[in-house]
Amino acid sequence: MIPRTGVRPLVAVCVTFAAASLIAVPVTLDLGWDEVVYVSQHGTRAPAAFMSAPRARGVTLLVWPVASWLDSTVVLRLFLTVTAAVSLGLAFWVWSRVTHRSGSAALAAGLYASLWIALFYANAAMPNHYTAMAAVAAVGCFLIAESERAALGAYLGLVAALAVAALMRPADAFWLGLPLIGVTLAVRAFRRWRLAAAVVVGLAAGGVPWAVEAELRYGGILERIQQAGHVQGGTSLQFSLWHVISTLDGPVLCRPCDSPLRWPAALWWGALVVLVPLGVRVARRAGTASTAWLPLLVAASMAVPYLFLISYSAPRFLLPTYALALVPAASGLAALLAAASGSWRRWLAALVAVGFAGHLVIQAGILRHVVSQQLRGREDWMSIARALRSNGVRPPCVISGHEAIPVAYYTGCRALEDRGNNRNASTAELREAAATGPFALLTKETAPPDWAEDWHRVPVRDLSSSGWTLYLPKRAPGSPN
Per residue in 76-135, pLDDT tens? 999 999 999 999 999 999 999 998 776 899 999 999 999 999 999 999 999 999 999 999
Backbone angles phi, psi at 286, to 5 degrees: -85, 0
| Rounded Cα gap, residues 392 and 156, in angstroms | 54
Q: With 0-12 CB in 10 A as exposed, 13-18 as middle and 19+ as buried, what is 382?
A: middle
Do 392 and 473 touch, CB atoms closer than 8 A?
no
Question: What was the pLDDT predicted at 4?
Answer: 54
Per-residue pLDDT, averaged over 446-460, amounts to: 93
Residue 1 pLDDT level (bands cut at 50, 70, 90): very low
Question: What was the pLDDT predicted at 337?
Answer: 86
Question: What was the pLDDT predicted at 333?
Answer: 93
Measured CA angle at 466 (ends 126, 380), to 5 deg: 40
Question: What was the pLDDT predicted at 481?
Answer: 63
Per-residue pLDDT, averaged over 329-333, amounts to: 95
pLDDT tens digit string along 299-309? 999 999 999 99
Per-residue pLDDT, averaged over 449-466, amounts to: 91
Indicate the average pLDDT of the chain. Answer: 92
Lowest mean pLDDT among 35-39, 248-252, 290-294: 248-252
Coil, strand or helix: which one is 249? Answer: coil
228: pLDDT strictly greater than 50: yes
Residue 263 pLDDT level (bands cut at 50, 70, 90): confident
Label residues 391-425 b or e (16+ Cβ within 10 Å = b): eebebebbbbbbbbbbbbbbbbbbbbbbeeebeeb
317: pLDDT strictly greater than 90: yes
pLDDT tens digit string along 184-226? 999 998 988 999 999 999 999 999 999 999 999 999 999 999 9
Per-residue pLDDT, averaged over 154-180, amounts to: 97
Higher pLDDT, 193 or 235: 193
Residue 148 pLDDT level (bands cut at 50, 70, 90): low
| Rounded Cα gap, residues 57 and 40, in angstroms | 12
Coil, strand or helix: which one is 125? Answer: coil
Q: How many CB atoms lie within 10 A of CB 238?
A: 12
Estimate the share of the chain in helix, then strand, then coil, as percent rounded to the nearest 5: 65, 5, 30
Share of the chain above pLDDT 90, in %: 79
448: pLDDT strictly greater than 50: yes
Question: What was the pLDDT predicted at 88?
Answer: 98
Residue 35 CA, distance from chain mean position: 10
Share of the chain above pLDDT 70, in %: 96
Per-residue pLDDT, averaged over 164-172, amounts to: 97
